[in-house]
Amino acid sequence: MYLGDKVAKCDYCGKEVYLPYRCKYCGGTFCVEHHLPENHACPNLKRGEWQPIYLPNKYSTRYEFYREEELTRKREKIQLFTASEVRDLLLAIGAISIVYMTYAFTVFSLLATVYALIAVLIAFFIHEMAHRFTAISLGYKARFVASIEGLMLTLISALLPFKILAPGYVAIYGRYGGRLRDLGLIALAGPLSNILIAVLAMIIPFSSILKYFVVLVNMDIALFNLLPFAILDGNKIFRWNKAIWLIVFAAAAILWLFVRWF
């Protein structure tokens, strides 16, 4: 096919082209390599400039304006506890409080009853929060859930010589069920926190009655949860690392015997 004698040239590199491209911004003709505006330094091409970002408010059609640097400071407010979680925590603390109030009533002392309630509040809350925040630090979502069966068993044990302290549990979810190591660390955090509180209570000087209940309740909760049975913390720790379980369980048992018999 004959195309004639006239051949176009690329305005950028001077290369002869039979099928030139025309730039819609500057009107020049270019070869295939330089037909894009950014490839021939098009003088009429304007790069994007900063534009305000508009973010919609949830459940409304109103828009708020933020500068770019302000966006990094905008964070969704994190709710520490949900209403249902607070309810479950209060139910669980109430059930365990009833168990230890039976100890206080044996000495017919209102002060001992108050101390028992304080000890339960400290021991149980810190135990469950140790589970909860360890799970969150490992990338899981976690919340405390009261169990109807556990609450009933805990309340019934108030009338028995042995105590069952299982009013609820920290439910975690994410990462397809969790790795064995993560579950072991999460389980370990609870009893370790109770052992630490008991040791600190032995060292720090304060009311002997309150000290007794703080140490007693914390060691009861720690030792019971370290048993390697069913859904208790000890079972998860044992499955993850038997040596760590044995060391922690032995330490808890020795401290528990010391508190009970001395």
Positions marked active-site = 128
Backbone angles phi and psi of 155, in degrees to 5:
-65, -40
Residue 210 near residue 118 (C-beta atoms within 8 A): yes
Integer distance in angstroms from the first to the last C-alpha of the chain?
110
Q: Biggest alpha carbon distance in the chain?
A: 117
* Cα angle: 46, vertex 50, 56; to 5 degrees: 130
* Cα angle: 39, vertex 44, 49; to 5 degrees: 90
What CA–CA distance (Å, rounded) separates 198 from 193? 9
Residue 128 near residue 190 (C-beta atoms within 8 A): yes
Backbone angles phi and psi of 98, in degrees to 5:
-60, -40
Tokens coding 219: 């060691």
Q: Long-range CB contacts (< 8 A, 24+ apart) of 119-122?
A: 119/210, 119/213, 119/214, 119/216, 119/217, 119/218, 120/93, 120/96, 120/217, 121/93, 121/97, 122/197, 122/214, 122/217, 122/218
